[in-house]
Amino acid sequence: MAAAENIRREHPFAFSLGPHEPLITGVIDVLALEPDGGMVVLDYKSDRIGPEVDLQGLVEREYGVQRLLYALAVLREGAPSVEIVHWFLERAEDWVSVRYAANQREALAQSLLTRVSQARAGGFAVAQLPHRGLCLTCPGRASLCSWGEEQTMREPPARGGPSLEGL
């Protein structure tokens, strides 16, 4: 970040993977232009994590799709490369990063299309344990969900409490 020539905070993006695919939108925490023209995406993570947590595994498991979205958004804007950095505030000395080149764009798009297809095939089940962290940004929460606002806006279950697996 110190060598960045331009830094944008809360940088919005939008793109589609094809004519019959949904519009994908989001906001990048920090987008920085490197001296060589490449870009760096800095994604702040506020997960509660201890020193024993494997950050690489956590990012692969929990943020793999987000990583694809950010990489595609930046590469589609014409960047020759992008480095996606997940920085955990509770372990500021550690971060997880991966770099993609422009020539990987189509492979990344295909990977994301595969994930979208898998999500479509699996359907959309109502969460067994709804909570604000899961439901806040759901577009169907107010009108399509069978749960009421009292359930969808409650605090998330404590770690070690009921399992959120499969939600």
Residue spans of beta strands (DSSP E) within 66-124: 81-88, 95-101
Q: What are the structural domains, with CATH classification, of the chain?
A: 6-123 (3.90.320.10), 124-167 (no CATH)
Which pLDDT score, from 0 to 100, does residue 108 have? Answer: 97
pLDDT of 165 > 60? The answer is: no
Rounded CA separation 71/67 (Å)? 6
Predicted TM-score (pTM) of this structure: 0.75
- The SS3 assignment for 166 reads coil
Angle between helices 105-122 and 55-76 (to 10 degrees): 110
Residue showing tokens 């979205």 = 69
Beta bridge partners of 101: 81
Between the CA of residue 3 and those of 30, 76, 96, what are the distances in Å? Answer: 14, 23, 19
Which pLDDT score, from 0 to 100, does residue 158 have? Answer: 72
